[in-house]
Amino acid sequence: MPNPTAAMLVIGDEILSGRTQDTNTNHLARALSAHGIDLKEVRVVADEQGAIVAALNALRERFDHLFTSGGIGPTHDDITADSVAAAFGVPISVREDARAALEAFYRKIGGDLTPARLRMARIPEGARLIDNPVSGAPGFSIGNVHVLAGVPSVFRAMVASVLPTLRGGRPLHSETLRAERGESEIAEGLGRLAAAFPALAIGSYPFRQEGVLGTNIVIRGEDPKLVAEAMARLRALLLGAGGDAASVRAEAGGE
Amino acid sequence: MPNPTAAMLVIGDEILSGRTQDTNTNHLARALSAHGIDLKEVRVVADEQGAIVAALNALRERFDHLFTSGGIGPTHDDITADSVAAAFGVPISVREDARAALEAFYRKIGGDLTPARLRMARIPEGARLIDNPVSGAPGFSIGNVHVLAGVPSVFRAMVASVLPTLRGGRPLHSETLRAERGESEIAEGLGRLAAAFPALAIGSYPFRQEGVLGTNIVIRGEDPKLVAEAMARLRALLLGAGGDAASVRAEAGGE
Which tens digit of pLDDT belongs to each residue from B156-215?
999 999 999 999 988 888 899 999 888 888 888 999 999 999 999 998 888 877 777 789
**B133 pLDDT more than 50:** yes
Q: Are A42 and B203 within 8 A, CB to CB? A: no
Distance between CA atoms of residues A9 and B98, nearest Å: 37
Task: Verify that B61 and B179 share a domain, yes or no.
Answer: no
Residue-level pLDDT at A250: 58
Above 60 in pLDDT, residue A243? Answer: no
Alpha helices in chain A (DSSP H): 13-16, 24-35, 49-62, 80-88, 96-109, 115-118, 152-162, 183-196, 224-240
Whether A182 sits inside 8 A of B111 (CB atoms) is yes
Do A77 and B204 make contact, defined as CB atoms within 8 angstroms?
yes
Within A90-149, residue ranges assigned H as helices are 96-109, 115-118
Return the DSSP state at B21: -
Q: How confident is the model at residue A109 (pLDDT cuts 50, 70, 90)?
A: confident
Round to whole Å and give the CA distance between B97 and A2: 45
A50 to chain B, minimum CA–CA distance in Å? 12
Q: State the pTM of this model.
A: 0.88
A85-97 pLDDT tens trace: 999 999 999 999 9
- In terms of Cα–Cα distance, which of A99, A87, A98 is closest to A143? A87
Check whether residue B110 and residue B34 sit in a common domain: yes
For chain A, the average pLDDT equals: 91
Where residue A255 falls among pLDDT bands split at 50, 70, 90? Answer: very low
**What's the number of CA atoms in the CB half-sphere (13 Å) around residue A198?**
0
All residues of chain A having their beta carbon less than 8 Å from the beta carbon of residue B25 are 15, 22, 44
Q: Which value does ipTM take for this structure? A: 0.87
Mean pLDDT along residues A137-158: 96
Distance (Å, whole) CA A191 – CA A140: 44
The residue among A24, A134, A7 whose CA lies nearest residue A69 is A24
Instruction: Report residue A139 CA to chain centroid gap.
Output: 16
Provide the pLDDT for residue A242.
56
pLDDT at A165: 94
Which pLDDT score, from 0 to 100, does residue B254 have? 44
Domain with B121, as residue range(s), is 5-165
Query: Is residue A148 within a helix (H) or strand (E), and if so which, with residue range?
Result: strand A145-148
Q: What's residue A241's pLDDT?
A: 59
Instruction: Please give the Cα distance from B100 to B30 (Å, whole number).
Output: 33
Calculate mean pLDDT across residues B85-111. 94
Instruction: Collect all residues with Cβ–Cβ distance below 8 Å to B145 and sequence separation of at least 6.
Output: B56, B60, B65, B66, B67, B68, B84, B88
Residues B66 and B130 in one domain: yes
Give chain A positions within 8 Å (CB) of B62.
none
Is A99 within 8 Å of A118 (Cβ atoms)? yes
B230 lies in the same domain as B108 = no
The conformational region for residue A172 under phi > 0 = left, psi -120 to 50 = alpha, else beta, is beta
Clarify whether residues B44 and B78 are in a common domain: yes
* B251 or B170, higher pLDDT: B170
Whether A151 and A31 share a structural domain = yes
Q: Which residues of A touch B208 (CB under 8 A)?
A: 153
Contacts of B41 in chain A (CB under 8 A): 16, 43-46, 51
Q: Which of B134, B184, B202 is the best substitution to test chain A (most A C-beta atoms within 10 A)?
A: B184
Closest-CA residue of chain A to B195: A76
| pLDDT for res A181 | 87
Q: Are residues B217 and B122 in the same domain?
A: no
Residue B3 has pLDDT above 70, yes or no: yes
Q: Is the domain of B153 the same as that of B33? A: yes
pLDDT digits (tens, 9 = 90+) for A48-102: 999 999 999 999 999 999 999 999 999 988 999 999 999 999 999 999 999 999 9
- Residue A9: what pLDDT? 98
Number of domain units in chain B? 2
At A245, the pLDDT band (50, 70, 90 cuts) reads: low
Question: Is B201 in Cβ contact with A174 (below 8 Å)?
Answer: no
Asked if residue A29 and residue A113 are part of one domain, the reply reads yes
Best-predicted range by mean pLDDT (A209-218, B6-15, B230-239): B6-15
- For residues A161 and A195, membership in a common domain is answered with no
Please say which residue of A121, A140, A165 terminates a domain. A165
Judged against a pLDDT cut of 70, whether residue B255 lies above it is answered with no
Q: What is the CATH number of the domain that holds A245?
A: 3.30.70.2860
Distance (Å, rounded) from C-alpha B189 to C-alpha B202?
12
**Measuring CA to CA, how many Å separate B134 from each of A84, A114, A137, A203, B158?**
44, 55, 48, 22, 9
The rounded percent of chain B whose pLDDT value lies above 90 is 71
Asked whether B149 and B73 are in contact (CB, 8 A), the reply is yes
On chain B, the residues whose CB falls within 8 A of the CB of A191 are: 75-76
